[in-house]
A and B are shown apart, each in its own frame.
Chain A
Amino acid sequence: MRFLVALLLCVSLALPAHAVNPDEVLDDPALEKRARTLSLELRCLVCQNQSIDDSDAPLAKDLRVLLRERLKAGDSDKQVMDYLVGRYGEFILLRPTFGPHTLLLWLLPFVLLAAGAVIVVMNRRKTRQAAAQEGLSAEENERLKTLLD
């Protein structure tokens, strides 16, 4: 299986990547536009990191055709995506769903951003306090006063 995937990968790499072919394009421009938008969210499963919109691999073509068939049959965007996920697994989605297994993925950057902001504010407070403490002591103030007088 691994070998097969590798082989497929080589084949798909060898071909210059092209998007949709003329024979796949739907007659209804609105439907075609929806198909294109959805294609950008779907991974060509045998390629690395290409959407089915970008890939020229035979599987990507099959997926593009399948996607269009579902749309023509009157599926909503969500229904098409659910159908494809049911068939190929979540691996096909380039935008992972939000769930327990992707909590960290979606939240980590923003949690760290917030944490960073908190640290910055805390740090400011600390340095300000430290600077305040570095002021003159009562004794020094006394001496300063006598010197100035």
Chain B
Amino acid sequence: MISEFGHFALILALTCAILQTVLPLYGAYRNDGAYMRVAEPAAVMQFAMTGLAFAALTHAFIVSDFSIKLVYANSHSAKPMIYKISGVWGNHEGSMLLWIMTLALFGACVAAFGANLPRDLRARVIGVQGLIGVAFLLFIILTSNPFERLDPAPFEGRGLNPILQDPALALHPPLLYIGYVGLSVAFSFAVAALLSGRVDAAWARWVRPWTLAAWMFLTAGIAMGSWWAYYELGWGGWWFWDPVENASFMPWLVATALLHSAIVVERRGALKIWTVLLSIIAFSLSLLGTFLVRSGVLTSVHSFASDPERGVFILLILCLTIGGALTLFAWRAPSLKAGGLFAPISRETSLVVNNLLLSTSCIAVLTGTLYPLVLEAITGAKISVGPPYFNLTFGIIMMPLLLLVPFGPMLSWKRGDAYAASQRLFVAAILGFLAVLVTWYVMYGGPVLAAFGIGVGVWLIAGALSELAWRAKVQDRNFKLAWQRFKGLPRSAFGTTLAHAGLGIAVLGIVGVTAWKAEVVAVMKPGDTQQVAGRTVKYLGEAPRTGPNYRDIVGRFEISRTGGPVTNTVEATKRVYFPSRQPTSEVAIRTYWSGDLYVVMGDEVGDGRTVRVYFNPLIPFIWLGTFIMFIGGLVSLSDRRYRVGAPKRAAPKPAEA
């Protein structure tokens, strides 16, 4: 019964979404306040209805109602509660419902927090948000109904894919969806701006926090996915340039570009057209990602839905959204007035370069992801585009960007002084250079490029900190005053520093694990030892163990510094889940400052067992760095100017002021 309510709520959500689209947009067109005022209640109702539907589906999973086809196919009564709940979005229908609920949530947020937006802009934004909702609600109701019943109802479910039974993977999709769908707000703002023909500082100030929020969640979602792959897939890899990873990485790259270009619009009124275009592209890439994953065009772990009908439907949504928005863009963009002159060396130029490199790096990823599909469709030739391609092209484009990052914040608006900026970065440059030398010396004989990479990481971190030091005027040697200034700096300054330093920390991790990963593979019997990267791992033996819905073979290992006392005992397991009899492996990871010791149980060989021991140098820095980037976003989001909000009518600042 509750499920029927859920289904009904979903249909009501569709009607709300239709109202939310038609009336406010018409009202904004006719400048009729009564129609425009429908926007907010309709958006809130749409969210309430999708929320109800989601709650109904969650209820069905919690009570294991196997008369619902989706629950039967993806759940099992013996599953721990957390995975019963995460099972709601561990499948196609449920994850689309989560997608729509998140979309409606963002619409409702604009309605709730948008009180100081101009009346017509708010109506248009919410209207466009509603339109996206209509498309996806139609999609789910017509092709992917999560509430389909089975008659007769089976006694037991088939269980969730064991790979998905993991805390990080329970959180990964919701985080990623908040990020994906959060970009819809920037999209709606862009379309609304094109409809009204107005892009100003107030508009940019509104777009930025939404993009920032979406970016933060994308960052967290991607990092969590990569962390999961690292400890669950069991060969120490953390990024595979898998099409599905790329699908989430591309919106991230464009969202990062958008964050930076929106600053220019907000402060200087330049790059308006480009920023509007980026907003459209960012969300289009989210939709493309959804299409690639959901349609099963790419064979991948993630495409649990390989249904051509659904693929065609999403492709239709994709074409209409992107095509419609870009047509509107081509028609209206020329009417947006470009503004803000700036010198070749200036903060503006540095942000333009940032955008150029970020968007071309995204194009490299996009080309590599889609090229094999297109080539096969046109000529029938099958080629593979794998990590070597991406590392090369993406790397070439990214390297200058990483080197230039510290310069950007050091240049002033309009007309910067390259020499002064270099002086401010002198210490950071020295530190980076020293890092190269030290690495080169310590890791003598290792790859030269790796020493350089470590130098880049240090340069980024030191450069980010230099910016704070410079803003606090530490160079004046009056440290008491500098401390006062430091405390008075806006939070957005700390946000920038954290995000840029986080990037540097992540670079250190990426370089470390790529260049100096050590690995031993051997058949071990109880009592045998293996040495890797100055540590000794002793195999103690194995024992069976039973969990709620799986059986383990637990291998125990002693870790010590070679020649030193035993510091830890760790467990690595081979696990078999009951309903599906699918084996997985739970690796043992011991984290040190210098990196991770990573032990994996392999198959039985004679009276021993294949054991793989890896040392992954600096790898925790990858996630530490991304976490700091996330915190940077959070700090920036709490900046005063977002809390206070844009002034109702931002006085246009004369460019010459």
Contacts and interface: CB of A to CB of B under 8 A. Distances in A.
Interface in A10-29: 13-23, 25
Interface string B366-380: 011001000100010
Contacts of B519: 19
A108 B363 contact: yes
Interface string A96-128: 100001101110111011001100100010011
A77 interface: no
Size band of the interface chain A makes with B? 35 or more
A94 interface: yes
A95 interface: yes
B384 A109 contact: no
Contacts of A113: 356-357, 360, 397
Given A51-B387, A96-B383, A113-B397, A20 B521 contact: yes
B371 A105 contact: yes
A18 B235 CA distance: 6
Contact of A94 (B386, B396, B522, B574): B386
Nearest to B575: A16
A92 B235 contact: no
Interface stretch (B27-35, B99-107, B562-570, B578-586): B578-586
B359 interface: yes
Contacts of B352: 120
Interface in B235-287: 235, 237, 240-243
Nearest to A119: B356
Contacts of A148: none
B229 to A, nearest CB: 10
Interface residues of B, number: 55
B338 A116 contact: no
Contacts of B590: none
A18 B600 contact: yes
A98 to B, nearest CB: 11
Contact of A96 (B384, B522, B523, B602): B384
B327 interface: no
B352 to A, nearest CB: 6
Given A16-B584, A17-B233, A22 B523 contact: yes
A49 B237 CA distance: 13
Interface string B322-365: 00000000000000001001001000000010001101110110
B299 interface: yes
Contacts of A93: 383-384
B367 A91 contact: no
B237 A54 contact: yes
A81 to B, nearest CB: 12
Contacts of A90: 381-384
Contacts of A15: 583
Contact of B610 (A22, A50, A96): A22
A49 B364 contact: no
Contact of A18 (B234, B240, B360, B364): B234
Contacts, number: 129
A40 B382 CA distance: 19
Nearest to B392: A95
Contacts of A14: 582-583
B426 interface: no
Contacts of B612: 18-19
Contacts of B387: 40, 51, 94
B354 to A, nearest CB: 12
Nearest to B368: A105
B393 interface: yes
Contacts of A109: 360-361, 363-364, 367, 393, 397
Contacts of B364: 108-109
A102 B383 contact: yes
Given A41-B388, A109-B364, A54 B383 contact: no
B389 interface: yes
B115 to A, nearest CB: 36
Contact of A105 (B241, B298, B367): B367
B300 interface: yes
Q: Which of A43, A109, A127 has the most CB of B within 10 A?
A: A109
Contacts of B359: 116
B605 interface: yes
A16 B393 contact: no
A131 interface: yes
A131 B414 CA distance: 14
B385 interface: yes
A89 interface: yes
Given A16-B584, A104-B367, 9 more contacts: A13-B301, A16-B574, A21-B610, A40-B387, A41-B386, A48-B298, A49-B386, A113-B357, A130-B338
7 contacts: A40-B387, A94-B385, A94-B386, A95-B392, A101-B375, A105-B367, A116-B359
Give 10 closest A-B pairs by Cβ, nearest first.
Answer: A94-B386, A95-B388, A109-B364, A16-B585, A113-B360, A91-B382, A105-B371, A48-B299, A43-B384, A116-B356
Interface of A: 9, 13-23, 25, 40-41, 43, 48-51, 54, 89-96, 101-102, 104-106, 108-110, 112-113, 116-117, 120, 124, 127-128, 130-131
Interface of B: 233-235, 237, 240-243, 298-301, 338, 341, 344, 352, 356-357, 359-361, 363-364, 367-368, 371, 375, 379, 381-389, 392-393, 396-397, 519, 521-523, 574, 582-585, 600, 602, 605, 610, 612
